Amino acid sequence: MFKKLYDRTLKLSGHRHAPRYLAGLSFAEATFFPIPPDVMLLPMLVAKPAKAWYYAFICTMASVIGGVFGYLLGSWGFELFSGWLETSSYYPAFLQANEAFNRWGFWVILVAGFTPIPYKVFTIAAGVIGMPFFLFLGGSVVGRGFLPGGCYYSYMG
């Protein structure tokens, strides 16, 4: 199943509306989608290096906005999907993310972009535990943009 999604995502990187698809993918990946935006971003950077900063900006902002959506899901709607989460493969990661937030707070969201635990788990967990929103937002911008695994870092790295 993921192979087909991955292949389709890679194919969209050459589409004339690729920046729109990149934004949608970056938003969705921060909340629920399993394919990271790098699958589209890297071929786009290679194909049009002059637009690299533009693509990295789109990727980062859409990912952060998707992270905010995940935060709001955790904050306001956790009861709606907690049953599904407990039976999903994401549940152990969710428990790890909660433990990490309890120990390190802000620093967890800052480095969430390059941990083996999917960023979406951190966004939802941050909302569930009530992490201060502006700390979450700041950590997301830096973590999703400039640390390994982030959109700007993918261009610079």
In the predicted model, what is the mean pLDDT of residues 59-80? 92
Residue 35, domain member (yes or no):
no
Is residue 19 in some structural domain? no
Establish if 153 belongs to a structural domain.
Answer: yes
Query: What average pLDDT does the chain have?
Result: 83
Looking at per-residue pLDDT, the higher value among 108 and 156 belongs to: 108
146 within a domain of the structure (yes/no) = yes
Answer whether residue 87 is part of any domain.
Answer: yes
Query: Is residue 22 included in any domain, yes or no?
Result: no
Q: Is residue 132 part of a domain?
A: yes
Q: In Å, what is the CA distance from 61 to each residue of 72, 146, 154?
A: 17, 12, 14
Number of domains comprising the chain: 1
Q: 95 lies in which domain range?
A: 59-157
Question: Can you say how many angstroms the Cα of residue 85 is from the centroid of all Cα atoms in its chain?
Answer: 18
Question: Which H or E element spans position 47?
Answer: helix 38-47
The stretch 84-89 carries a mean pLDDT of 86
34 domain residue, yes or no: no
